Amino acid sequence: MRREGLDRVVRAWTAPLVAGLDTARVSPMALTFTGLVANLAAAGVVAAGHPRWGALGLLAASLLDTLDGGLARRQGRASRLGAFLDSTFDRISETAIFVAILRDINASQWGPWWLPEVTLLALAGSLAVSYVRARAEGLGEECKVGWLERPERVVLLVLGLALGRAALGFALFALAALTWLTVVQRIAHVWGKLARSDQDRA
């Protein structure tokens, strides 16, 4: 399914929740901040050595992350500040959950010796995927291509945490590989667009 089609499906599924929040007069900004707190709480649970409970927390936090944009659009309150905070809080949340996983690995001494390095590569790749898009959009070019955007990364993390540490190790390895492949995809995409644009201006 194409990204646009998936976005439409998610919006349709969450529409009743968005409508309920609107009726309750919940502020989109309040939802954004609540999502950050929920993500940090989920990371704390993982760091304390309870990955399955952390998976539930991360899933709930991700739902909040999905709802705030839809609520802002419904209320006519979509803003550049909201978009900025949403994107920034996503990066903070991702960093927190990977740091929590590292804490659990070191505290419980599970997984092969190279797993902490793979976790750091997955974190760096996740941040790089988002940075390439942000930098491209700062130059006026859209960049939503690639295999592993944030929703896919969250799904892999939730599944890994929920299915146990062996599954989490596999999820981290997959994240490390696929995020960097996504970075390459995005660089190639933006390279082509900017090169053509520069040639047209020459």
Whether 124 contacts 182, CB under 8 Å: no
Whether 86 contacts 70, CB under 8 Å: no
Question: Which of 69, 109, 63, 74 is CA-nearest to residue 87?
Answer: 69
Residues 54 and 164: their CA atoms lie apart, in Å, by 11
Whether 28 contacts 82, CB under 8 Å: yes
Measured CA to CA in angstroms, residue 37 lies from 22, 30, 65, 67, 162 at distances of 21, 11, 11, 15, 20
Token pair of 101 as six digits: 């996983």
Determine the straight-line distance between the first and last CA of the chain, rounded to whole angstroms.
38
Whether 73 contacts 103, CB under 8 Å: no
Q: Which residues are catalytic?
A: 90
